[in-house]
Amino acid sequence: MKSFLFILFLILQPPTVELIEKSKYQAFVDQGYTIIDVRTPEEYLQGHIQGAQNIDVRAETFITEIQELSKSDTLLVYCRSGRRSLYAAQVLVSFGFKKIYDLEGGFLNW
């Protein structure tokens, strides 16, 4: 019965966004997880984390573009300072993504 309740708890537990420090984020980048830069294309061109996809959270196409991602993938999100990426991560959760990590301090901290 205990294991059934534990499994039920895990199933009903809503996904969360974990804000992580640079070193842990770097380790996830090194493992090859999907990286999403939610800044504008102009900001992205000025510098970005190698391998990151640019999906501008303020663009009209944001929802369409995130729906093309696999919901089972672990996603790493970041923006300039952390505000837009937190918003983007919450949107990702609302669309059924389960494993989302946000870079503490954003690209400024990278």
Which of 17, 79, 89, 103 is an active site residue?
79
C-alpha to C-alpha distance for 17 and 94, rounded to whole angstroms: 11
Q: Determine whether 79 is an active site residue.
A: yes
Task: Say which residues have a Cβ less than 8 Å from residue 30's Cβ, sequence separation at least 6.
Answer: none
Instruction: Catalogue the long-range contacts made by 13-17 (C-beta closer than 8 Å, 24 or more residues apart).
Output: 14/93, 15/93, 15/97, 15/98, 15/99, 15/100, 16/93, 16/100, 17/86, 17/89, 17/90, 17/92, 17/93, 17/100, 17/101, 17/102
| Active site positions, annotated | 79
